[in-house]
Structure 1
Amino acid sequence: MTHHILAVADKEAKKNVVQQLAQGTGRRVLFTRTKHQAKKLAKQLTAAGVPAVDLHGNLGQGARERNLAAFSSGAVKVLVATDIAARGIHVDDVELVVHVDPPAEHKAYLHRSGRTARAGSGGDVVTIMLPEERGDVRDLTRKARITARPQDVAPGDATVTRLVGEVAPYVEYVPPAPPQQQGRQGASKQGGGRSRSGRQGGPSQNGVGQNGGRQGQSRAQGGSQGRGSAVSHVRRRAAAARATTRTAAPAVVGAGAAAGAVRATRTPRRRADPSPGSNVSDPQATPVT
């Protein structure tokens, strides 16, 4: 196992050097510090013509197994992983390990580096170092008892080319097709009716939704007709009541007139004779002489 420390000028130079190191024909493992960086780097390499798969804690068990199977079978030559996700990986013939981000402690560095030079074969371990990481890398290598010295490199340098070895052919990236929805589901969303109970009907579910929509429409029409009949009935009763009132009014008036006539034809009562000694005089009485 041979260790190399490649010092780059900035992040753009680091990106280009990492992409060049990933272009070899043999298996190689690239380590990043975070899950997001692992996923992002795998996508960038794949889009640049270098097929790569990622391995990190956010992957489900199915995706993890598929990515490991693709890397183990040789269908994909580059695996981008984090420290925790790479534990327990046992894949032979890994010729290059790249510390894209230097680990935080020397134990993680040794564990990462152990992915290569397995079963008696050789391998190279490369650490990419930015100017601000020089002190951390120095402490890291001292604790790990690594005697490698930093080398200033740029994309396309002889040192980088030698580590790449034979370059793999370019693989054009084809983005996956978006999943298509089934025709019945789309039709149910567009043509579905809404029943009285609030359920949306449509052509889906063997016509049940469509029947539900028709039933809801018929119920709505029946309800409107019922309400119209009730209103008409009330109106008819009100009209009949008004007609009865108009018919009864003249009879009441006639009865009142007849009663007045009867009172007018009655003979007025005669007053009683005044009692003896009364001071009231009767104008029709004969005066006493």
Structure 2
Amino acid sequence: MTDIAACPGFGDLGLPEKIVEKLAHNGVTRPFPIQAAAVPDALAGRDVLGCGRTGSGKTLAFGLPLLVRAAERRAEPRRPRGLVLVPTRELAHQVRDALIPYGRVLGARIGDVVGGSSYTRQINELRRGVDVLVATPGRLSDLIEQGACELGDVQVSVLDEADQMCDMGFMPQVSDLLDRVRPGGQTLLFSATLDGDVDTLVRRYMKEPRTHSVDPPVSQVATMEHHLLKVLPRDKSKIVIEIAARDGRTILFVRSKYRADAISEQLVAAGVPAASLHGGKTQSVRTRTLAKFREGRIQALVATDVAARGIHVDGIDMVVNVDLPASHKDYLHRGGRTARAGESGRVVSLVQPNQRRMARRLLGDAGVEVQQHLVNPGDELLSEVTGARQPSWEPWIEPPEPERPRRGRGGPRRGRSGGRRFDGDRRGGFSGERRDREERGGERRSGYGGERRGGRKPYRGDREDTRSPRG
């Protein structure tokens, strides 16, 4: 186990000079501890096991060495040389976007395959050749079954947020994918916790890994405060609205997509710029919603655990557990959305009288030192703890988005002319967005991930709906 107290510069880690220059150009001059610890070992070809909370800088810790290795020679069609497995679409896009600037410097091509996006685009991208592939397990398994991708040339495999992938039921797919990569390759695994199925992956696929744990767990972050608000059932909705009306970006977590939509509608009706994010929404809607939240066009995001595991937005200073999470791990993952990279933040949990015993056990398992308060709507104490304030109570009307430039010679954008939208693979014979398995841990498989094929109806299960809401 390695602890790094003082971090060298990126130039001291063995990275190519043009990568160091690009980092400096982007304003990144000093590595985070996990980067300073993991990059040299990864560049040397060793297996690396990194343990650190969300927001600790893990993407560049594995991404830069991966790009250096993958850029040594061009990948053949359908045969990537580097693989990054992530649990959600949002995280896949964020990893891809974070690595693209440095991939361009090295001449490494980066692609992504995720559910909810066009099969045709992803298949064509793989045919052209991708050096580094960022993927969610479900969609990648589907493409391999179709013969669109082979993993025999993968030299470096990365598991990002491995504990979340296991918690979401992806252990069988992850194991199958790792069995397909080139024998003797390098494995980099990054996770907030190293228990359960993660430990199984480590023992099965890693050889004498160098272990680096350089960031405290969420519960011990000095810049994060934890508060337990005791509320009465009749007051809970109003208290949620007043908290959401505060200044600043706020994420409110709930246990089901139906709760997310209902609370989001209540906030909008009260005059709070808000939107919901969950697995029942198409990928394009989720992408636009995150962009609005990131740009400040909405100030409150009501999200489920499944959809929110890939949210990485700077400047979130409060997380609100409207519904208590199912486990202490979920509590820590939710809290990881705030107090990132040294910033301060608060985690607030609303608890009704019949939930107090469960809340104490949950927070005890999480190792959290929590401040408890009894609050009512409009209380000065509520405002002091959360920044809550009275909303306008006039329905918020979202301003129209700025017009995007049209493609071609002034004609309508493709797919926007009133015809049916096609987002699937023509061979599958379906049209529109599919619900992908990345929002449903471990569902049954039928053809292209569950869409209609051969007269069979699509599978509509959703993990976040199978759990009974608590609170």
TM-score class, shorter-chain normalisation, is 0.5 to 0.7
- Partners of 2:280 and 2:378 in 1: CA distance: 34
Counterpart in the other structure of 1:3: 226
TM-score, reference length from structure 1: 0.58
CA contact (8 A) 1:53 1:80 kept: yes
- Give the CA deviation at 1:158: 2.0
- Partners of 1:129 and 1:166 in 2: CA distance: 17
Match of 1:127 among 325, 330, 349: 349
Match of 1:42 among 258, 264, 271: 264
**Aligned residue type for 2:231:** V
1:31 aligns with 2:243: no
- Partners of 2:349 and 2:278 in 1: CA distance: 20
| Compared CA separation, residues 112 and 141, structure 1 to 2 (3 A) | same
CA contact (8 A) 1:20 1:164 kept: no
CA contact (8 A) 2:383 2:389 kept: no
Match of 1:55 among 261, 265, 277: 277
CA contact (8 A) 2:229 2:350 kept: yes
CA contact (8 A) 1:53 1:78 kept: yes
CA contact (8 A) 2:226 2:371 kept: no
**Aligned residue type for 2:250:** R
| Compared CA separation, residues 150 and 164, structure 1 to 2 (3 A) | closer
Match of 1:64 among 279, 286, 294: 286
5+ unaligned residues in a row in structure 1: which ranges?
177-289
5+ unaligned residues in a row in structure 2: which ranges?
1-223, 400-471
Counterpart in the other structure of 2:396: 173
| Compared CA separation, residues 142 and 77, structure 1 to 2 (3 A) | same
Secondary structure at the counterpart of residue 121 of structure 1: coil
Output the aligned Cα RMSD: 1.9
**Aligned residue type for 1:4:** H
- Give the CA deviation at 1:149: 4.1
Counterpart in the other structure of 2:440: none
- Give the CA deviation at 1:168: 8.8
Counterpart in the other structure of 1:140: 362
**Aligned residue type for 2:272:** V
**TM alignment of 1:149-164, pairs within 5 A:** 149-164=371-386
Match of 1:103 among 310, 322, 325: 325
**What are the Cα deviations for residues 74-102 of structure 1, in whole angstroms up to 9, with x where unaligned?**
00010000001001111011011000001
What number of residue pairs does the alignment pair up?
Answer: 175
**TM alignment of 1:6-25, pairs within 5 A:** 6-10=229-233, 12-25=234-247
**What are the Cα deviations for residues 210-238 of structure 1, in whole angstroms up to 9, with x where unaligned?**
xxxxxxxxxxxxxxxxxxxxxxxxxxxxx
CA contact (8 A) 1:94 1:123 kept: yes
- Partners of 1:84 and 1:166 in 2: CA distance: 27
- Give the CA deviation at 1:175: 8.8
- Give the CA deviation at 1:16: 1.1
- Partners of 1:169 and 1:98 in 2: CA distance: 17
Secondary structure at the counterpart of residue 360 of structure 2: helix
User: How much identity, in percent, do the aligned residues show?
Assistant: 46
- Give the CA deviation at 1:159: 2.2
**Aligned residue type for 2:337:** R
- Partners of 1:66 and 1:105 in 2: CA distance: 30
Secondary structure at the counterpart of residue 90 of structure 1: coil
**Aligned residue type for 1:8:** V
Bigger Rg, which one: 1
**What are the Cα deviations for residues 146-202 of structure 1, in whole angstroms up to 9, with x where unaligned?**
1214321111122211234385974643499xxxxxxxxxxxxxxxxxxxxxxxxxx
**Structure ranking higher in helix proportion:** 1
**Aligned residue type for 1:82:** T
| Compared CA separation, residues 8 and 127, structure 1 to 2 (3 A) | same
- Partners of 2:251 and 2:230 in 1: CA distance: 19
CA contact (8 A) 2:319 2:348 kept: yes
| Compared CA separation, residues 110 and 175, structure 1 to 2 (3 A) | closer
| Compared CA separation, residues 119 and 133, structure 1 to 2 (3 A) | same
- Partners of 2:333 and 2:344 in 1: CA distance: 16
- Give the CA deviation at 1:26: 0.4
TM-score, reference length from structure 2: 0.36
| Compared CA separation, residues 122 and 175, structure 1 to 2 (3 A) | closer
